């Protein structure tokens, strides 16, 4: 697992910067109802997407949440007074506070299904009836674009993705969140080159091949044998799902501490 305190400084530049943020924000806003007035952006990171959500519509008040201090500081510089440090599994907001909740590139980072269920439950809790939860799903699959790099990596050890769309839909339904739409958006500037993939491998991007694992050297050697070491392959495409909170849905109530 990457250390996002260390990643904060280089996060935007290493992940497509403003073009990727623009694509993500456009995808999210396409699923957020036009009459939404309060939006919560979970795992807002550096705030590069959150800022675009806040600027996109007059009257939309956006709050960002992240767990990492370094990320919160960067996000707060972009959207002053609108960022809170908190765990997405235990949000410091009353029930029914928001018209929309978003979590872009969060669920796949969680340690297991129980954590994903906890986050989805909290999203349902802080949503008003009729509100919409928008989240990325199947994040790892989005990176497989059928390139020669993907062919090399196909043999690497796998772990089951915790953000599988079917599983997330089941967790959502348990809290009165029913499917309300889907879309895809490109990860602009994230097309991998062999050399960049090797660097990601060395720094622990692939969790089943941690730094120091001898198998990582084998994959690095195979990647280094590919042609056009610095030519990016096609950009990934990410999937967003929307879920609407049904009127009268039971909510697990909690008093914020």
CA-to-CA distance for 112 and 174, rounded, in angstroms?
A: 17
Other Cβ atoms less than 10 A from the Cβ of 51: the count is 21
More confident residue, 158 or 102: 102
Quote helix, strand, coil % in the chain, to nearest 5: 35, 20, 45
Q: What beta strand segments (E) does the chain contain?
A: 38-42, 61-66, 83-85, 98-103, 127-137, 177-186, 237-245
Alpha-helix residue ranges (DSSP H) falling in 104-177: 113-126, 139-142, 148-153, 165-173
- The string of pLDDT tens digits covering residues 55-76 is 999 999 999 999 989 889 999 9
Nearest-CA neighbor of 15 among 210, 195, 203, 188?
A: 188
Nearest-CA neighbor of 164 among 102, 120, 207, 208?
A: 120
pLDDT at residue number 152: 97
Encoding tokens for residue 71?
A: 């990320």
CA-to-CA distance for 71 and 55, rounded, in angstroms?
A: 20
**Predicted confidence band at 251 (pLDDT cuts at 50, 70, 90)?**
low
pLDDT more than 90, % of the chain: 77
pLDDT at residue number 75: 92
């Amino acid at each position: 697992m990457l250390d996002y305190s260390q990643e904060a400084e280089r996060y935007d530049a290493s992940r497509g910067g403003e073009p990727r943020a623009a694509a993500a924000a456009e995808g999210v806003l396409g699923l957020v109802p036009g009459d939404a007035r309060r939006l919560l952006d979970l795992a807002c990171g550096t705030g590069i997407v959150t800022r675009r959500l806040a600027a996109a519509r007059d009257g939309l008040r956006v709050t960002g949440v992240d767990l990492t201090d370094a990320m919160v500081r960067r996000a707060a510089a972009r959207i002053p007074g609108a960022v809170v440090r908190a765990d997405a599994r235990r949000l410091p907001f009353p029930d029914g506070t928001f018209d929309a909740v978003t979590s872009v590139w969060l669920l796949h980072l969680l340690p297991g299904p129980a954590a994903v269920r906890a986050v989805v439950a909290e999203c349902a809790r802080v949503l008003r009836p009729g509100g919409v939860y928008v989240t990325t799903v199947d994040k790892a699959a989005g990176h497989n674009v059928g390139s020669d790099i993907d062919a090399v990596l196909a043999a690497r050890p796998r772990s089951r993705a915790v953000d599988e769309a079917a599983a997330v839909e089941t967790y959502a339904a348990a809290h009165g969140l029913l499917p309300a739409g889907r879309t895809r958006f490109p990860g602009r500037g994230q097309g991998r080159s062999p050399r960049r993939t090797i660097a990601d491998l060395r720094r622990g991007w692939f969790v089943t091949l941690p730094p120091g694992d001898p198998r990582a050297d084998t994959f690095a050697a195979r990647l280094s044998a590919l042609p056009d070491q610095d030519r990016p392959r096609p950009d990934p495409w990410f999937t967003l799902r929307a879920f609407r909170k049904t009127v009268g849905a039971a909510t697990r109530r909690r008093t914020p501490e």
